[in-house]
Each structure stands twice: as C-alpha cells, then as structure tokens.
Amino acid sequence: MDMLIFELERNSDKPLYEQLYVGIKNAIISKRIEVGTKLPSKRKLADFLNISQTTIEIAYAQLLAEGYIISVPRVGYFVETIDDLPYVENETNLEPVPLVIKQSFEIDFNPGTIDLDGFPFTTWRKYAKLLIDEHNKDLLLTGHPQGEYELRVEIAKYLYQSRGVVCSPEQIVIGSGTEQLLPMIIRLLNSNEFAIENPGYKTVNRIIKHTGRTVFPIQVDEEGIRISDLEQTTANVVYVTPSHQFPTGAVLSATRRSQLLNWAAQHSDRFIIEDDYDSEFRYLGKPIPSLQGLDNNDKVIYMSTFTKSLMPSLRVAYFVLPKSLLSTYHNTFTYYTSTVPRFDQHILANFMKDGHFAKHLNRMRKLYKKKHEHMTEVIERHYPTLSISGEYAGMNIVLSVPHDLSEQQLKEKASNHGIGVYPISNYMISPIEYNVPQFLLGFGGLNFDGIENAIHKLMSIWDVKRVN
C-alpha cells in the first residue's frame, strides 16, 4: 500500500495518534485494508499526513499490541489475520460523568472519624516488618475462606473477655466490612423479611433491599428498638445495635433484651443480627453485655469491626455464627476466599496476641472519654438551652437544638461556614417527626484543644445564646 488517507482533526481534543490508530483499526476490521497488506513506513506516512514520526510510531505500536498488525524486522508492518468481528467501533460522544467530590470542612463533627494521632504506628510497623520476610512466603497464597485461624483465635479470646461472647474460632468469619459480610448472612437465612432500627444505618437498609428482601423499619426510643412494634410485623430477622444504638445512642434495656431473645426463640427461622460496632468505648458504668452472651437458643449472629478501635482503612470485620448455621455456611460458601489480605490478618493477630490491642484500646478509651467529657461540659456550661443524649458511649453525642430554623437550614448554615454537622434525619429509614432539630456531633477526629472553639463557632453561626 502506497499510502493511507485519513482525515485528522488537528483541533480535536482527541490526540492525533489516537485518531490515526482508530482509523487504521476500523479500516482493517471492515476489510478496507486487506490481510497481508504492508503499511506505509513511519517516515513516508508522517510526510504524507504532515505529522511527526512519533505520532505514527505510537499508533502502530498500539495496533501491534492489539494484534491488528505484525512487525517483520527490517521489512515493515503488515495487516494480520483476525477473527470476524460483529461490528466496527463507532465514535460516540458521551456526556462526561461528573465526579462526586466529598465536601471537606474546616471543622468536621463527623461521627465516623477517629483520632489519627493515637494510632500506634511504631508498633504496627514493627509487626509489619517482621512478617514481610521470605520465611513467610506461604502468605502469598490464598488462605482459609473464613480468615486466618490465628486471627480467629485472638478474636474469640477478645470477645469472650471483653463482651461475654461465647464462641470458638470455627464460628468466626472474617471479611472486609459490613458491606461484604451482611449479604453473606442474608443468604444464609431463610427469610425474605427483615426488620431494622429507625433511625439506623441506611447502608444496611440498602444492602437488604438490594437482595430483594422486604424491610420493616422499627422505631427506636430511649430503651432501644420497640419490641411491640417488631411483633406486629412478619419479619423473621431483625438487625439491631443494642449496646449503643446508632445514631440515637440508646441502650437496649434489660427488659427489651429479654423480650427480643424470647421473640427470636418462638420460631425456628427467627434470628437476631447484633451489630456491636463500637462497644469498646463506654464511659460510664460497666460494659453492656452482648446479646450473644445472653442467648441460650443459638439465635444471635454477632457482628463487629476494627474500624473504630483501630482504623477504618484496615477493612477487617467479622461475624460469629450460631452453631446451627455452620453447616449451611459451609455448604453455601465453599467456593469463597477471604477478602482481607493474609498479611494484614497476621499483623493484626500478632498485635492482639502480644497485648498491644488491649493497650491501644485502653489508651484510646481514656482519650475519647476526655474529649467526650470536654464537649459535653462546654455545651452544658455555656448553652443550657440545648440538651444532650446518647452521651455515655461511642464517639459522638446527639444534640437537640431548639431553633426557629429547620434541621436542614441549620445544616446548610453551618456548611456555608466550613463546619460539617450531621442531622439525625440523615439516618431515618422512614420519616419520623421530631419537634426539635437533632444533630450527631462526633468528637473522635477533633483535636482536644480545639473542641471548645469549635462548639462556640458553631453556636455563633446558629445564633444560639452563650452563657458565660
């Protein structure tokens, strides 16, 4: 072939080499250039099209890489034989999809943030270095589908000592988060109808609905989920956060714990999913015992994560299955592999085994307690018209703000001044009427010395009167 004639748009956003590559490729697919045809040399084609040889070289290299042409040394490029394709690619002008950029704030009361300065980098780095060694090359291979046995042993010990959860390592399944583990649990349970707390985790609501199940939102009060409302539904599975309800902070009362366990025991296909997401951080009285530890009927599936206790990016969560569900699990998920890297699991297992996890929790519990007490003290002393709830555990409080403006208006006003606040309505599965705007104020990610100024700035923006 003496020459290739293509119309190149020099003012186009698409590079010249890409235009040339697409033109030659489509000509080969449509057989306008026959198999075996020798393409013009890079120099000749560059002169003919009045473009650089580099542009020709890049286009030819891409065609060569995709198998449309072959290179014969010291001879040139030739069109290769390819299977018939059902179509020739047509250029399509697609509307660009806008990137969703998370808004950043000068002051962020996000309840999901942790204290980054408190992480034990030196100790964690030491365990990582010790593990990354050629003697541990077997860790490059796929591990146990339920997660590394060494980590499951440490989790079982920790749960028994700290939460009263009675289980063996064989009952524990490790995964990369609630989003990955909850669908597995849903598949194990013979139910199409689930109940969840309202307000509660919207992600849980989305996950359950995505699997085609029906969701019944059950309202929460100061004693936790309303069991009488649950009993009015046809749900066979209920998802709860009994030790520290998210987002209200309510603790499921002893009476309702008994009622809930009795509800589950009434039918063979009823189960409770207990999410114990931040039970490590309680600041008043003794830790609230887990439902799983109180259950005598094998009805509670216990879930938790290391997101708050260590770091969100670790992506290690787990659930504890009742023994009655183990055979179903093994039959259903025989082909699964763990979604958490083996190196990360062994680092965490060694970190826990040598007592560093317990030390870290004690240190962080003291730090978060100081922040919690400081935030509540500032609000109670300077802003007595406001009320606080859910303040005995976790990494946020719930603040009620009597105001002429709506919850959404207050949120937008704060946001416009660089402050992130989180209305409780953000977590409603179905609408609930509140007389007073309520917000989750997280303190985990705030610097201790900056908490008071952050509160004062927010109240000033909201025109809440300060008492000195």
Q: Per-residue pLDDT tens for 384-424?
A: 999 999 767 889 999 999 999 999 999 999 999 999 999 99
Three-state secondary structure string covering 376-397:
HHHHHHHCCCCEEECCCECCEE
pLDDT at 65: 81
Give the C-alpha distances (Å, rounded to integers) separating 159 from 153, 179, 351, 356: 10, 22, 15, 15
Which region, left, alpha or beta, applies to residue 373 given φ > 0 means left and ψ of -120 to 50 means alpha? alpha
Residues of the chain with pLDDT under 70: 1-2, 82-102, 285, 391
- The structure tokens listed for 406 are 């709506």
pLDDT at 87: 47
> Alpha-carbon distance 356 to 123, whole Å?
8
Q: Indicate the class that CATH gives domain 1-99.
A: mainly alpha
Phi, psi of 174 (to 5 degrees): -100, 135
Closest CA to 439 of 248, 267, 251, 202: 248
pLDDT at 86: 47
β-strand 300-305 against 271-275: which pairing, if any?
parallel
pLDDT at 466: 95
- The structure tokens listed for 30 are 């449509």
> Would you say 306 and 280 are in contact if contact means Cβ atoms under 8 Å apart?
no
Closest CA to 117 of 394, 461, 444, 455: 444
Helical H runs in 100-248? 121-131, 149-163, 178-188, 202-210, 227-231
pLDDT at 88: 46
> Alpha-carbon distance 147 to 180, whole Å?
14
Give the C-alpha distances (Å, rounded to integers) separating 405 from 266, 412, 414, 437, 462: 47, 11, 12, 9, 9
pLDDT at 181: 95
**In the chain, what are the domain boundaries?**
1-99, 107-112+359-461, 119-355
Task: Name the 3-class secondary structure at 414.
Answer: helix
> Alpha-carbon distance 167 to 155, whole Å?
10
> Alpha-carbon distance 373 to 455, whole Å?
13
With respect to CATH, is domain 107-112+359-461 assigned 3.40.50.300?
no
The partner residues of 77 in beta bridges, in order of sequence, read 71
Tell me the CA end-to-end span of the chain in Å, nearest whole number.
89
**If you write DSSP's letter for every residue of 44-68 in order, what string do you get?**
HHHHHHTS-HHHHHHHHHHHHHTTS
| pTM given for the model | 0.78
Torsion of CA 350, 355, 360, 365, to 10 degrees: 140
pLDDT digits (tens, 9 = 90+) for 348-385: 999 999 999 999 999 999 999 999 999 999 999 999 99
CATH topology (fold) of 119-355: Aspartate Aminotransferase; domain 2 (3.40.640)
Give the C-alpha distances (Å, rounded to integers) separating 87 from 22, 26, 84: 14, 9, 9
